[in-house]
């Protein structure tokens, strides 16, 4: 059972890193940005506005206001720590919606948890037709609900189509590759996280060429 849980968290982590993307400075520090809905975001899709304070305090002394104002930045270790906290919350949330979550096909577990991660449990809760279809194991209706949602039509169509294809086929999205042996996404040592970033410089456009941008830009 532990192996299955490890694979779920590994594949979900890799998918989230791919889908959320990141905005970093030339020196690798994560910088705050506004997502497609204007929400202040940092790291791998971490919302700096809704209830961010307590989560931030668990991994860094840097305040949300400082990050939004770009007077402070996150290290990669801090960004990964926030991802792990948010991933754990998403898994807890999706399991509360589906009491038999462990019985669902593993790739579909990843898709459902990734949806909760992106839109929050409240947003996911509005997909009542999808939720009912998953509980009934009616994958065709589940996919139809996903593809005919505002999430797929307007908000993030490319991401949603990747998720709906995985839901339809019951196979892992290509971006949910399992971590190679010896490269597991380990929980960072929070005591070692530095609260004082090095001096940062905004990267020139040429330095950002070829680097993945956050998910909202996938849809342009």
Domain of 82: which CATH number? 1.10.530.40
Whether residue 76 lies inside any domain: the answer is yes
Q: Which residues contact 14 (CB under 8 A, 6 or more apart)?
A: 175, 176, 177, 178, 179
Rounded CA-CA distance 188/92 in Å is 20
Q: Which residues face 46 on adjacent strands?
A: 42
Residue 181 has a pLDDT of 59
Tell me the C-alpha distance between 71 and 51, whole Å: 20
217 occurs within a structural domain: no
Helix axes 106-125, 128-135, angle to 10 degrees: 150
Range of the domain at 117: 2-176+201-210
- The number of distinct structural domains making up the chain is 1
Residues 193, 76: contact at Cβ < 8 Å?
Answer: no
- Contact criterion met (CB below 8 Å) for 199 and 24: no
Helix residue ranges, H only, 21-105: 52-57, 64-68, 76-97
**The sheet that has 33-34: what strands, in order across it?**
33-34, 40-42, 46-47
- How far is residue 93's CA from residue 85's CA, in Å, rounded to a whole number? 12
DSSP letter assigned to residue 72: S
Q: Within a domain: residue 216?
A: no
**24 inside domain:** yes
Per-residue confidence (pLDDT) for residue 78, from 0 to 100: 96
Quote the CA–CA distance of 133 and 145 in Å, as a whole number: 9
Instruction: State residue 133's pLDDT score.
Output: 98
Residue 74 belongs to a domain: yes
Beta bridge partners of 74: 30
In angstroms, the CA 134 to CA 157 distance is 21
pLDDT, position 175: 84
Q: For residue 46, which phi and psi values (nearest 5 degrees)?
A: -80, 125
Q: Are 62 and 56 in contact (CB under 8 A)?
A: yes
- Residue 167, domain member (yes or no): yes
Look at residue 138 and tell me if it is in a domain: yes
Q: 189 lies in a domain?
A: no
Pairing of strands 33-34, 40-42: antiparallel
pLDDT one digit per residue (tens) for the chain, 220 residues: 445 668 999 999 999 999 998 999 999 999 999 987 899 999 999 999 987 888 899 999 999 999 999 999 999 999 999 999 999 999 999 999 999 999 999 999 999 999 999 999 999 999 999 999 999 999 999 999 999 999 999 999 999 999 999 999 999 988 888 876 555 544 444 444 444 333 333 333 333 333 433 333 232 2
């Amino acid at each position: 059972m532990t192996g299955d849980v490890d694979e779920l968290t590994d594949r979900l982590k890799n998918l989230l890193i791919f889908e959320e993307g990141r905005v970093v400075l030339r020196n690798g520090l994560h910088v705050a940005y506004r997502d497609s809905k204007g929400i202040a975001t940092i790291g791998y899709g971490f919302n700096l506005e809704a209830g961010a304070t307590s989560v931030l305090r668990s991994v860094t002394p840097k305040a949300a206001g400082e990050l939004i104002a770009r007077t402070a930045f996150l290290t990669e270790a801090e960004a990964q720590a926030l991802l792990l906290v948010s991933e754990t919350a998403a898994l807890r949330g999706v399991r509360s919606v589906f009491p038999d979550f462990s019985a669902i096909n593993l790739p579909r577990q990843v898709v459902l948890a990734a949806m909760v991660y992106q839109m929050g449990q409240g947003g996911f809760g509005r997909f009542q037709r999808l939720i009912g279809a998953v509980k009934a194991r009616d994958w065709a209706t589940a996919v139809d609900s996903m593809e005919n949602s505002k999430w797929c039509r307007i908000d993030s169509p490319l991401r949603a189509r990747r998720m709906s294809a995985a839901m339809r086929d019951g196979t892992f999205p290509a971006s949910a590759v399992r971590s190679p042996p010896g490269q597991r996404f380990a929980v960072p040592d929070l005591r070692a996280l530095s609260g004082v970033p090095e001096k940062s410089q905004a990267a020139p456009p040429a330095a950002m060429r070829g680097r993945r941008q956050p998910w909202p830009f996938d849809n342009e």
